[in-house]
Amino acid sequence: MKKIQGGVCASIGFKANGVHCGIRKNKTKRDLSLIVTEVRASAACVYTQNLVKGAPILVTKKHVADGYASAIVCNSGNANTCNANGEEIAEQMCSLVSDATGIPASDVIVASTGVIGQPLSIDPIREGMPSLVSGLSEEGSNLAAQGIMTTDTISKEIAYSFTLGGKECHIGAIGKGVGMINPNMATMLIFITTDAAISPAMLQKALSADVKDSFNMVSVDGDTSTNDMVAVLANGCAGNEPVTAPGKDFNAFRKALSKVTTYLCRKIAGDGEGATKLLECKVTGAKSKSAARTVAKSVIKSSLFKAAMFGADANWGRVLCAIGYSGADVDVTKVSVDFKSRAGELAVCRNGSGVPFSEEEAKKILSEKEIEILIGLDDGNGKATAWGCDLTYEYVKINGDYRT
């Protein structure tokens, strides 16, 4: 497997673009993105489990019910959620794409991100559509990545090449975070393209399995968005023998998918609203996989622990506290905790009690940009990783006046 350039356009047959159409007032910010495949693709999606669902989620569910799609359109600056005419507007977005590209509206995936509860006007989208479509190109992935950003400080894209049944395949993605991030079965907006040939059923199976260990293990602020969506389009242009059942090829595809999703998890957590640090919590020795996930997620979500990491304070008691209230079945007298970064590794807790350590050494390790929190439970073989970020003044600032 090799890391390559091109994001969602790294796969054969995909084009993308992103433009400023006027949903956002700031003209330097792109706010409308489009990805299209010249060959109709197998499509799989996972969505937010929030009962309050963005209108685009409801429309997309209908459009991919048959397992196929050819385009993804997405705006930023407005979530099109909790609006009386939301579904109508989302359907209009698909129709506008259809009119401009010839792709049936029912083959368009639609997504929105931004403020909840403010009516979304179709006008800027209608006006922006011609330039959005005419500008589609195989170099457009980064423009599309920019068009879906909200409070993200960096655009997020990634691509890999891999081999399936002797054929070189590609998989790429763009994604955005970075607030209201606490996915549950799906997360954020992530659009993945691949030219591998794989049936809709197997694509959905791969995606649904993957998110449990990838996006569902990311938390920026514990708030599960109303608009989370991960969509994968697989157009088969690589020419491999189609993957239609579990086996070696399916496993190879899952591995490639996991490379892409894990990369984006780290990017989204590290770019969490106001974050100065990426936190990676690795739990081993849990009674079960599920217990490991519960513990890792509980630690990564603790406001107190996140604030301590911001202050580079080795306050491991807060790690123990979060393990204890996680709900997982844990023997607290066996717990060990280590902090690790490229500056070193330090044991701070053994058998549920503190061990002496150098505060100076701890400060050095915790002052790095990427921190690993290693938790050993010594009670089984379950393991899991969760990604998060520190809690900072900047998070409060961003969210104290996001809307106004």
Contacting residues toward a copy of itself, per CB under 8 A: 49-53, 79, 81-84, 115-119, 179-180, 182, 184, 221-226, 301-304, 307-308, 310-311, 313-318, 320-325, 330, 332, 349, 351-354, 359, 391-393, 395-404
Helices 317-324 + 289-301 axis angle, to 10: 130
Nearest to 66 by CA among 15, 22, 104, 119: 104
For the question of residue 187 being annotated catalytic, the response is yes
- Shortest Å distance, C-beta 123 to a copy of itself: 19
Closer Cβ to a copy of itself, 147 or 179, answer by number: 179
- Shortest Å distance, C-beta 343 to a copy of itself: 18
- Shortest Å distance, C-beta 212 to a copy of itself: 17
Closer Cβ to a copy of itself, 252 or 386, answer by number: 386
Residue 247, SS3 per DSSP: coil
The token pair that represents 375 in the structure block: 């938790």
- Shortest Å distance, C-beta 349 to a copy of itself: 7
C-alpha span between 54 and 139 (Å, rounded): 30
Closer Cβ to a copy of itself, 45 or 322, answer by number: 322
Catalytic site residue from 187, 193, 262, 392: 187
- Shortest Å distance, C-beta 151 to a copy of itself: 11
Q: How many residues does the chain have?
A: 404
Closer Cβ to a copy of itself, 92 or 224, answer by number: 224
- Residue 87: in which H helix or E strand, if any? helix 86-101
**What separation, in Å, do the N-terminal and C-terminal C-alpha atoms of the chain show?**
45
The token pair that represents 125 in the structure block: 């989208």
The pairing of beta strand 344-350 with beta strand 108-115: unpaired
Q: Which residue has the tokens 């356009």?
A: 9
C-alpha span between 63 and 69 (Å, rounded): 8
The token pair that represents 147 in the structure block: 């068009």
Please answer whether residues 69 and 54 qualify as being in contact, where contact means their C-beta atoms are separated by less than 8 angstroms.
Answer: no
Q: Cβ contacts of residue 177 below 8 Å, gap of 6+?
A: 151, 152, 156, 188, 220, 267, 268, 269, 271, 272, 273
- Shortest Å distance, C-beta 249 to a copy of itself: 36
Closer Cβ to a copy of itself, 37 or 151, answer by number: 151
Closer Cβ to a copy of itself, 1 or 52, answer by number: 52
Closer Cβ to a copy of itself, 245 or 332, answer by number: 332
C-alpha span between 156 and 164 (Å, rounded): 26
Please answer whether residues 167 and 154 qualify as being in contact, where contact means their C-beta atoms are separated by less than 8 angstroms.
Answer: no
The pairing of beta strand 370-376 with beta strand 229-234: unpaired
The gap from C-alpha 176 to its chain's centroid, in whole angstroms, comes to 7
Closer Cβ to a copy of itself, 109 or 308, answer by number: 308
Following DSSP, what letter does each residue of 183-210 receive, concatenated?
-SSS-SEEEEEE---B-HHHHHHHHHHH
Q: Which residues pair with 35 in a beta bridge?
A: 16, 72
Cis amide prior to 178 (ω within 30 degrees): yes
- Shortest Å distance, C-beta 294 to a copy of itself: 12
- Shortest Å distance, C-beta 206 to a copy of itself: 26
- Residue 35: in which H helix or E strand, if any? strand 32-47
Catalytic residue numbers?
Answer: 187
